[in-house]
Amino acid sequence: MVAGCSCSREQQSRQSIRKIHQKPQQAARRNRSLKPLRRRRNQSQICCQLPAAGHFGVTSQRQVGHRTAHTLPALSRIRVMASSTQHSSLLNALPAALLLILSLQLSGVCGVIDRLVVQTSSGPVRGRSVTVQGREVHVYTGIPYAKPPVEDLRFRKPVPAEPWHGVLDATRLSATCVQERYEYFPGFSGEEIWNPNTNVSEDCLYINVWAPAKARLRHGRGANGAEVSVPGLSPQSVTLTIPQHSGAKPADTDHLIHNGNPQNTTNGLPILIWIYGGGFMTGSATLEIYNADIMAAVGNVIVASFQYRVGAFGFLHLAPEMPADFAEEAPGNVGLWDQALAIRWIKDNAHAFGGNPEWLTLFGESAGSSSVNAQLMSPVTRGVVKRGMMQSGTMNAPWSHMTSEKAVEIGKALINDCNCNASMLKTNPAHVMSCMRGVDAKTISVQQWNSYSGILSFPSAPTIDGAFLPADPMTLMKTADLKDYDILMGNVRDEGTYFLLYDFIDYFDKDDATALPRDKYLEIMNNIFGKATQAEREAIIFQYTSWEGNPGYQNQQQIGRAVGDHFFTCPTNEYAQALAERGASVHYYYFTHRTSTSLWGEWMGVLHGDEIEYFFGQPLNNSLQYRPVERELGKRMLSAVIEFAKSGNPAQDGEEWPNFSKEDPVYYIFSTDDKIEKLARGPLAARCSFWNDYLPKVRSWAGTGCDGDSGSASISPTLQLLLLAGLLYIGAALGTKGVF
């Protein structure tokens, strides 16, 4: 098979950031380099050089988004150069007939020899090659999937990108969608790794793809699945590698991290599609922690990611306030529509990168996890993908969706803050929207935060809009048939501490634990749960009070647990039960390992997002300073992801990992502690029973009194609730109620 070389192309590398593993005190745990230099090719080569531009006219260029596509004039002739003794001897050894055929082929479609060019449904793209642990991966970054959502397209649903004809340079990272940076701890790498690492822009709707080179060249086809000739012309030269020997090679499986359940890859490899988190307000697919070089190379899978609009640019919802013919001006959820369009583009172009369009898995963390949930359940995208991995986020979590009424209220406040007069939405919506589209993006990005209303109460989130999300998540679940769906989901041990620190920065220190007096504890708890009824708050405080001696440090821990349980762990538990009841195959994990190089204080434990680097396989990078047990954990967790993508079951080599259900809430523990059993049931049963079963009853009872005979002893409603909470706690601890 004729493959391409890079004899006339400079070696490429991407800047690596290894601070955390080389100097743990100065850098962030997650900021890791996974970008080795492109491997030089030593095979004998024939270089097919294009004549200088003067022979055929000047090369024309066309701008495509932020990329430049090169278009060359038609070639009247092609020269095969023997520029060295090595090349001359090789040429002399080739039969004249072969040279003639080769010359004719090159003169027609010289670009077919460029191994890094892929013909997509939008046009040809050229990526770059990286070598990871001796395996070559082709990486394509910055492929546009939608028109830049600027000017008249701001706040609207995405429009597919215009096709291009030249070869698109897909070797540079795209812009990050407009957002604000977190700068609570200036110069602190633990925070900086989550901030944008590319320029922010409204022109940000781009896709990234990682494809194992051998698989892509073996299975790669055009977007419609047919074999194609790719016009991958370089502006300067094109190179051709003459293979050392002929004959088909057997399928290479020696480099797979796990091959216990071999799958048929005749029609292409599995594709994992990553959706980043950030509370629907921040985030970027270009962050170092999401680099999929290792996942693609070691797992032998295709990996894709994409940017989608966040904040008001992605979720401004004003349609109910405007006449029907203006409904598309700001329908809301356009960030979810971005995701849906990107997923469809990846599915349509799966064959081009060597993937199988019927073998897709969505995976994401936090808001990205909730997005996976939305894409699996929405009637707009139902059935496009039936396999999803949800890390610390589901659509039933309090922060993950809002009502249409609430979204409109926030949207109108933003309009007024931008001096565009929301009172005119009904009478002159065109004027209001024209005004909003004329406001500088930075102004909108800053002003939207005026509607932030407390811990994890972000001003933008998916909206129950009657279209993408026709009803609240649990209502949608009631009629869903999920018998063909595979779900892998879970949580980390200390989901709440990260958010607790940021929202109560005056009370806590990122490095050292705080001995919090009882009055401060009550102040914070009442602040966090201020929207609950008094009866609910009393029950929550009772549930998260340490009654067995309290030096103050436990108050801090208890608040962290309350935040993590309420906003993450217990909604995930509840949703896992509902998925299983509707027929889905659900596997649950629990990540309990604190990485040795973490820069955050010990009191923060295993933070929200700490599992990401392990699922991406970053500990397998031997140049980074992970401990051996952490490398083994990284291998095991990456293996679970790959097995799940291939078969729908994350278990490996006959390992036991039963399905999760309400009746048998079994989960798998990812830990470096060999003394801990890998499978467990119910350690958070009491805490999640409280949120999912008991507190809803408190909500329904709120405001009722105690009916009793005159003169008889009576107990206040609040005390009744406290007593019931205590009884529930004892009963759940004894195993009468199992949720986790």
Burial class, 653, CB count within 10 angstroms (exposed 0-12 / middle 13-18 / buried 19+):
exposed
Burial class, 724, CB count within 10 angstroms (exposed 0-12 / middle 13-18 / buried 19+):
middle
Tokens of 242: 């003459």
Gap between the Cα atoms of 394 and 473, Å rounded: 9
Question: How wide is the angle at C-alpha 479 spanned by C-alphas 478 and 482, nearest 5°?
Answer: 95
Cβ 243 vs Cβ 43: under 8 Å: yes
DSSP 353-384: GTEEEEEEEEEEETHHHHHHHHHHH-TTTBTT
The one-letter code for the residue type at 158 is: P
Torsions phi, psi for 371 (to 5 deg): -65, -40
Gap between the Cα atoms of 95 and 128, Å rounded: 33
Q: Find the catalytic residue in 371, 401, 608, 613.
A: 608
What length is written for the chain? 740
The one-letter code for the residue type at 348 is: D
Burial class, 681, CB count within 10 angstroms (exposed 0-12 / middle 13-18 / buried 19+):
middle
Strand, helix or coil for residue 39: coil
What separation in angstroms does the CA of 228 have from each of 72, 117, 120, 590, 645? 19, 11, 10, 45, 28
Residue 611 is among the residues annotated as catalytic for this protein: no
Gap between the Cα atoms of 124 and 353, Å rounded: 12
Gap between the Cα atoms of 172 and 359, Å rounded: 27
Q: Which residue has the tokens 């929405």?
A: 378
Cβ 366 vs Cβ 392: under 8 Å: yes
- Identify the H or E element spanning 22: helix 19-22
Gap between the Cα atoms of 664 and 171, Å rounded: 48
CB atoms within 10 A of CB 272: 27
Quick one: DSSP state of residue 158?
A: P
Tokens of 209: 């793809």
CA–centroid distance for 671 within its chain: 23
The one-letter code for the residue type at 491 is: N
The one-letter code for the residue type at 581 is: E
Residue 495 is among the residues annotated as catalytic for this protein: yes
Among residues 684, 699, 637, which one has the least CA distance to residue 365? Answer: 637
CB atoms within 10 A of CB 102: 18
The one-letter code for the residue type at 153 is: L
Residue 389, C-beta contacts closer than 8 angstroms, at least 6 positions apart: 361, 362, 363, 364, 369, 372, 487, 488, 489, 641, 644
Q: Find the catalytic residue in 495, 536, 574, 630.
A: 495
Residue 237 is among the residues annotated as catalytic for this protein: no
The one-letter code for the residue type at 124 is: P
Gap between the Cα atoms of 164 and 67, Å rounded: 11
Q: Find the catalytic residue in 33, 284, 366, 639.
A: 366
Active-site annotation, residues:
366, 495, 608
